[in-house]
Chains A and B, each alone.
Chain A
Amino acid sequence: MQGNLSLFADLFLTFAKIGLFTFGGGYAMISMIETYCVESKRWITHDEMMSVTVIAESTPGPIAINCATYVGHKKAGFAGAVIATLGIVFPSFIVILIVSEFLAGFMNITVIAQAFSGVKIAAGLLIIKAAVNMFVKMRRNNIQSAIILSSLALSLSVNASPALLMIISAIAGIFLFRGKK
């Protein structure tokens, strides 16, 4: 039990550290997880890390959460999975709680409000950039290009529900691409 407790503490603290020092989420976290879980702690192998990354890409949720759950489960079963996942979420949860308590007050400071007039613009542009990067990296055929254009057009013109568009596209994918390379 003593051993279990120290493993639980180690899992929680390691993932809390990863959660605290990773900004922007996503792929930045993979290299942190690689450093801690593969190289220094040797909790999982590099190959396992690759498999989790591949699984993460075709399952919902942030990749960092997927990795934490996987490592925790492998080292200490269900309780380990819960503890590692809590660990990675905990720092950002606290930070955002603090931010949201103080943000309204901050906004009354003129210079902060002015700064945020620029920041709001940056957010929209970053989203456009993320989409453009997806286009560039995606190997696509004509049908997939048509899916891109029609989901863009339906979102802009009739405000189609993103969830509905995604479900339709996934079903279309199964029918159109099944058995194809």
Chain B
Amino acid sequence: MIYAELFSAFLVIGCLSFGGAYGAIPLIRDTVLRYGWIADDELSYMIAVSESTPGPIMVNLATYIGNTQAGFFGAFLATLAVVLPSFVVILVASSALKRYGGNKYLQSAMKGLKPCIAGIILAVGLQLSMKQCIDVRACLMTAILAGILFAVKISPVKFIVISAFLGVIANLVG
């Protein structure tokens, strides 16, 4: 049953999405590949589309994947599921705001969790980048874009626009 699968999968993602905007991407990639919902190619450009449209990336991806797999109701359920855990946590935490921040178990868990998240985000970034490097042209584009991204301070949206132009130019050149 696709609705139940979407809801439970995105509920798990919502529960484990620590570590900022990109924190959920490894979990989402693992999930969509396991269910065969979308492939790496589609995921890559949807991550870029999510960067260039309003709203948190994981919410955008939930809506997109839900809609492509099961239409409007699928989009609704996936989005609801991915938002639900953070909603519940804040309702529970706001009544115990101060005590919560001082919880030593939570803080020590975060000390283990943060480096793990950094590691798995890097792994996904490398995997998606290597998948795109299919021929000389693509590898050359990767090198040029990596040079721009790491040498200049640039916003993600501008970077994506530049990459789109580079894609068109590269196809014109050869």
Contacts and interface: CB of A to CB of B under 8 A. Distances in A.
Given A60-B86, A138-B114, A178-B104, A121 B18 contact: no
A100 B67 contact: yes
B110 A123 contact: no
Output the residue of B19, B120, B157 with the most chain A CB within 10 A.
B120
Contacts of B15: 60
Contacts of A131: 22, 118-119, 121-122, 125
A151 B129 contact: no
Nearest to A173: B112
A85 B54 contact: no
**Secondary structure of the A contact surface, majority rule:** helix
B165 A59 contact: no
Contact of B64 (A69, A99, A150, A151): A99
Contacts of A59: 18, 86, 89-90, 93
B145 A125 contact: yes
Contacts, number: 361
A170 to B, nearest CB: 4
A45 B163 CA distance: 41
A4 interface: no
A166 B146 contact: no
Given A59-B90, A69-B90, A131-B122, A120 B45 contact: yes
A173 B110 contact: yes
Given A111-B168, A121-B163, A61 B53 contact: no
Contacts of B83: 61, 65, 85, 89
Interface in A49-103: 51-52, 54-55, 57-66, 69-70, 73-74, 78, 81, 85, 88-89, 91-93, 95-97, 99-101, 103
Interface size class of B (residues with CB under 8 A): 35 or more
Contacts of B171: 114, 117
A173 B50 CA distance: 32
A131 B94 CA distance: 30
B79 to A, nearest CB: 6
A116 B72 CA distance: 25
B58 A62 contact: yes
Interface residues of A, number: 95
A169 to B, nearest CB: 3
Contacts of A96: 50, 53, 55, 60, 63-64, 67, 75
B111 A62 contact: no
B54 A117 contact: no
B26 A155 contact: yes
A70 B116 contact: no
A124 B132 contact: yes
B116 A147 contact: yes
Given A61-B86, A130-B21, A151 B97 contact: no
Interface of A: 19-27, 29, 51-52, 54-55, 57-66, 69-70, 73-74, 78, 81, 85, 88-89, 91-93, 95-97, 99-101, 103, 111, 114-132, 134-135, 138, 140, 144-145, 147-152, 155-156, 161-163, 165-174, 176-180
16 contacts: A59-B93, A60-B18, A73-B94, A85-B87, A96-B53, A96-B55, A114-B168, A117-B141, A121-B145, A121-B167, A122-B163, A125-B142, A127-B25, A152-B122, A156-B126, A169-B116
